[in-house]
Amino acid sequence: MSLDIDMKSMKSKPIEIRDFQSSDAEACFRIRAEAFIRLFYEEIGPDGVVDGINAYLPGKYIHLAEALPIFMAVAGNAQIGFIASRFVEHTTIEILFLYIKLDNLRKGIGAQLVRFLENWVRKQHPEIERIVVDTAVPKYNQKFYEIMGYSKVGQSKCQYPTGSVAAVRLMKRLR
Ligand SMILES: CC(C)(COP(=O)(O)OP(=O)(O)OC[C@H]1O[C@@H](n2cnc3c(N)ncnc32)[C@H](O)[C@@H]1OP(=O)(O)O)[C@@H](O)C(=O)NCCC(=O)NCCS
* DSSP state at residue 104: G
According to DSSP, the β-strands at 130-135 and 92-100 are parallel
First to last CA, the chain: 23
Reported as a single tens digit per residue, the pLDDT across 100-126 is 999 999 999 999 999 999 999 999 999
Using the atom order of ligand 1, give the atom closest to the CA of residue 112: 12
Our answer on whether the CB atom of 98 is closer than 6 Å to any ligand 1 atom is yes
CATH number, domain 2-132: 3.40.630.30
Our answer on whether the CB atom of 139 is closer than 6 Å to any ligand 1 atom is no
Q: What is the pTM of this model?
A: 0.92
Our answer on whether the CB atom of 105 is closer than 6 Å to any ligand 1 atom is yes
Q: CB 167: neighbour CB atoms within 10 A?
A: 18
Task: Convert 58-78 to b/e letters by CB count within 10 Å (16 or more is b).
Answer: eeebbebbeebbbbbbbbeee
What are the extents of the domains in the chain? Answer: 2-132
Res 160: pLDDT: 78
Reported as a single tens digit per residue, the pLDDT across 33-82 is 999 999 999 989 999 999 999 999 999 999 999 999 999 999 999 999 99
Res 158: pLDDT: 86
Res 27: pLDDT: 98
According to DSSP, the β-strands at 151-160 and 130-135 are unpaired
Our answer on whether the CB atom of 99 is closer than 6 Å to any ligand 1 atom is yes
